[in-house]
Chains A and B, each alone.
Chain A
Amino acid sequence: MTDAQGPKQPLAASAGAAPMVEPVPGAPPRNQWWSVWDQFKTHRGALLGLGFFVFALLFVYIGPLVWMIDPQFIDIRARNSGPTLAHPMGTDQLGRDTLARMMAGGQTSIAVGLTAMALALVLGTLIGLVAGYFRRLDGILMRMTDLFLAMPLLPLLLVIIMLFRDHLRITFGPEGGIFILIVFVIGVTSWMQTARVVRGDLLALKEREFVLAARSIGTPPHLMILRHILPNVMSPIMVSATLGIANAIITESALSFLGLGFPSDFPTWGRLLFDATDWLQQNPERVIWPGLAISLTVLSVNYIGDGLRDAMDPRIRGR
């Protein structure tokens, strides 16, 4: 209704006052991201997933401001306690508060997920763009991608971490070193899907008229990629970003669970789960919290990815 009345109002105004008025467009052209959001809203799972992911972010980043117990504080008299008023999620074998440790662990887990995803995304997009745009590099870059896909990633990750852990610890400190190492190894071993998708899309885009038009007015390659091609391959990149977060969180927890991730005094959700398995007989509920946190976060991110994929697909959108 409002849209249909839009163009009439300036006409009515111009009839009374000034005769010459610039033609005002009825409604400003809608940003495409609004229609993506409209479609996204209809996906119930994706909306729930987004809600939970925001909740998880608030829990781990705002939570410590509310729940002020130090995650490292050792209260040995309250060790191995179940849920009480003082410790809603109980305590571990040293009497450290599990709720505070869940918040601290979540910060690291989510930070690893986001940073490793960003690294993988940048690498994958770069390689995909270069391979798709410059034909001469295509063969060699795609062979490299295939080789990376054929590598036994989990054993290699474990080997790299085993070999380089101590040296990075000495250089960057116990926490920074292992963070850099884990983000780096997850990033450089999970860019391949993004690169393939970006290259595939780009090969199709290159044949389109607007690219030809841009080239005919002499657009240099770097502007061509940045202004014309990158915005058009944004949607597969964003979908693989969500999958990348899920993958990075799972990989990091798996590494921590195998005892090769973060140390126990600088916990992540995976490490908390690993530490809790030793106390399965006495304190079985301790494994539930970190496991639930990992699973729900990954589930929510996967649902966001599902919703995004549907919302970004113009063939489905608007139906």
Chain B
Amino acid sequence: MLTFTIRRLILAIPTLLFISFIIFLIVKLSPSDPTAGLPLTIPPEVRAQIRESLGVNDPLFVQYFKWLKLMVWDEPLHLFEGWTGWNAAPDDGARIISYQTRSPVTELIAQRMPQTLWVVGVSYIVGVLIALPIGIISAYRQYSWFDQIGTFISMLGFSVPTFFTGVLLIVIFAVNLGWFPSVYDTTHKVTDWDSFIVQLKQSIMPVMVLGLFNASQMSRFMRASMLDNLNQDYVRTARAKGLGERTVVLVHVLRNSLIPVVTVIALNVPAIFGGAIITEQVFKVNGIGQLLIIAIQSGDIPTVQTVSFIFAVLIVLFNLAADVLYGVLDPRIRYD
């Protein structure tokens, strides 16, 4: 199992290198000038010197490796230093600086990560908690009215885009009924019971929008996987030796059906971060997705590169986690 994990880990490195190169290249190849934002009064020869000092004229690979070193070595060290107070980071002052705020991008991301993690994490848990029972009951009572309604709603759930459900919920619950606030206030601090209720109220809509979207995909997987297992021989054996129906379904079948579903749960995590970009925009959550959008709209290339790279790392990491998890859960997959 250890060799399997190590092998997957080593395979993930070239993938990440390649993706980081693509991210770097897209920005590099784009016909934009890093000195375009500077005042027009700067004479051309000074402008050329600024370009030289920014390293624009270096060979492409030199530029790429410099950027990569900053991204995967220096910046994490700075973050580490900020958390622990140890003097770990290099002192040459090279950081990835946002064009907009003139502060290091990692600090911006660190400020915005908690909001995103809260909304995304809670909605993911809510989604899984909704999806699993629906999938199990739908499969166990296939073609019943519960199954018909369940499959229709899950079809609806992943056909209706989150930016429409979000806006619809705002129209109904914030504009017409006035139950929940339409804007997520991230400066709100939970100190006592009342402020906790406020926090709950403002999280309900974003969490439900993302959670229902996930639940609709996951319940389909759960249903299909349960259906695959319900007709297997071992289920008949379990029934034949007199086990109760509850034990057969919830212990024997469920455990086997969860194997593919668990990997799907892991694989979908990056997708939900992508979905969070839109949800954060709808509910004005100032998370990492909104940071990306603002950075894109104002042409803040270092921030865009860093956030995209973080998304890529997330995808590769969770793919890896799904692979390893599959190996742990299903001994047939390991080839060591």
Contact = CB atoms under 8 A, between A and B. Distances in A.
Nearest to B318: A150
B175 A151 contact: no
A254 B161 contact: yes
Contact of B159 (A258, A287, A299): A299
Interface centre among A150, A152, A258, A291 (most CB of B within 10 A): A152
Contacts of A158: 292-293, 296
A315 B29 CA distance: 50
A294 B165 CA distance: 11
Q: What does DSSP make chain B's interface, helix, strand, loop or mixed?
A: helix
A152 B161 contact: no
Interface stretch (A160-168, A211-219, A220-228): A160-168
A280 B155 CA distance: 27
Interface string A285-296: 001100100110
A150 B267 CA distance: 10
B101 interface: no
A299 B155 contact: yes
A319 B65 CA distance: 61
A281 B164 CA distance: 16
A192 B167 CA distance: 31
A296 to B, nearest CB: 8
A284 B176 contact: yes
Contact of B315 (A151, A246, A306): A151
Interface string B153-196: 00110111101100110110001100000100000000000000
Contact of A258 (B26, B30, B164, B293): B293
B311 A155 contact: yes
A interface residue count range (under 10 / 10 to 19 / 20 to 34 / 35 or more): 35 or more
Nearest to A306: B155
A280 B175 contact: yes
Contacts of A295: 156, 159-161, 164
A154 B277 contact: yes
A280 B281 CA distance: 15
A167 B33 CA distance: 13
A155 B159 contact: no
Contacts of B171: 280, 284, 287-288
A257 interface: yes
B151 to A, nearest CB: 9
Interface in A228-256: 246, 250, 253-254
B172 to A, nearest CB: 9
A304 to B, nearest CB: 12
B311 A273 contact: no
B18, B167, B299: which has the most chain A beta carbons within 10 Å?
Answer: B167
Contact of B277 (A163, A258, A303): A258
A145 to B, nearest CB: 12
B270 A152 contact: yes
Nearest to B273: A152
A163 B293 CA distance: 13
B19 interface: yes
A260 interface: yes
Interface string A86-122: 0000000000000000000000000000000000000
B26 A152 contact: no
A306 B151 CA distance: 12
A146 interface: yes
Nearest to A291: B164
B297 interface: yes
B22 interface: yes
Contacts of B282: 277
A164 B30 contact: yes
A156 B293 contact: no
Contacts of B163: 253-254, 257, 270, 273
B231 interface: no
Contacts of B161: 250, 253-254, 257, 294-295, 298
B31 interface: yes
Contacts of A284: 171, 175-176
A64 interface: no
Nearest to A158: B296
A301 B297 CA distance: 32
Interface in B116-156: 152, 155-156
Given A150-B19, A156-B23, A159-B296, A303 B155 contact: yes
B26 A163 contact: yes
A258 B277 CA distance: 9
Interface of A: 45, 146-147, 150-156, 158-160, 162-164, 167, 246, 250, 253-254, 257-260, 270, 273, 277, 280-281, 284, 287-288, 291, 294-295, 298-299, 302-303, 306
28 contacts: A146-B15, A150-B15, A150-B312, A151-B19, A152-B19, A152-B274, A152-B314, A153-B274, A155-B277, A155-B307, A155-B311, A156-B22, A158-B293, A158-B296, A159-B26, A163-B27, A163-B32, A257-B163, A260-B296, A277-B282, A280-B170, A280-B175, A281-B175, A284-B171, A288-B171, A295-B164, A299-B159, A306-B155
Given A150-B19, A287-B167, 12 more contacts: A150-B319, A151-B22, A151-B312, A152-B315, A155-B307, A155-B308, A159-B27, A162-B299, A280-B171, A284-B176, A294-B164, A299-B160
The 10 A-B pairs at the shortest CB distance, nearest first, are namely A152-B311, A163-B30, A291-B164, A299-B159, A295-B160, A154-B274, A155-B308, A298-B159, A284-B171, A257-B163
